[in-house]
Amino acid sequence: MNQRDADSSIASRRRFLQLGAAAAACSLILPGSALAASVGNVARKLSFVNLHTNEKLSTVYWENGAYLPEGLKQVNHVLRDWRTGEVMDIDVKLLDALWELHQRLGSKQPFEVISGYRSPKTNATLASASDGVAKKSLHMRGMAIDINLPDRKLKTVREAAMKMQRGGVGYYPKSGFVHVDTGRVRFW
């Protein structure tokens, strides 16, 4: 190999390393879907324990670039309004946010579900009994969930969800849960 070929090879390797470093840096600083985009077509799996029904679910809901109807159906069922039995389609953006949150936290435990979907009737009953329940709650649209991860501090779950900038994040340490929704970005 002559000097000119050697210099060209070194420059090519250097450029390759620079591009790789730039790509890695972008994935660290981009909010929202950066983590999901960086893993491409990795199957997205979610696990839940519904604290009111004791039901457990671990299912793949997205794979090979598509949402899986059977996985979504299973999620909708376990996150139903446990008081009335009503089922609602859960916003896939919420599922993606939960998947990303679980990945960011490196949790090995399923999400403990305090509240997923709430029927208008259930929400009205809860709102009349507490100032902490919104009359137009996103729970009624399948766009909100109240969760805990038993292997992570509640404060850590909240901070990670806030950094994602995917929607609203509420912190309820006395009640032991974090509210996550896909509405506008806001924190309380």
Mean pLDDT across 145-162: 98
Q: Using CA atoms, how far apart are residues 13 and 31, in angstroms rounded to an integer?
A: 29
Distance CA 129, CA 7 (A): 74
Average pLDDT on 139-146 reads 98
CATH tag, 32-187:
3.30.1380.10
Residue type, 158: R
> Could you tell me the residue ranges of all domains in the chain?
1-30, 32-187
pLDDT surpasses 50 at 26: no
What is residue 5's predicted lDDT score, i.e. its pLDDT?
Answer: 53
Give the range among 10-14, 39-43, 160-164, 177-181 with minimum mean pLDDT.
10-14
How do residues 86-140 score in pLDDT, each as one tens digit? Answer: 999 999 999 999 999 999 999 999 999 999 999 999 998 888 887 778 878 999 9
Contact between residue 185 and residue 168 where contact means Cβ atoms under 8 Å apart? yes
User: Any bridge partners for residue 170, and if so which?
Assistant: 179
Going by the DSSP 8-state scheme, the letter that residue 183 receives in this structure is: S
Q: What is the pLDDT of residue 1?
A: 56
Q: Tell me whether strands 168-172 and 66-67 are parallel, antiparallel or unpaired.
A: unpaired
Smallest CA-to-CA distance from 96 within 140, 148, 39 is with 39
Residue 79 has pLDDT above 70, yes or no: yes
Task: State the pLDDT confidence band at 29, using cuts at 50, 70 and 90.
Answer: very low
Question: Average pLDDT, whole number, for the chain?
Answer: 86
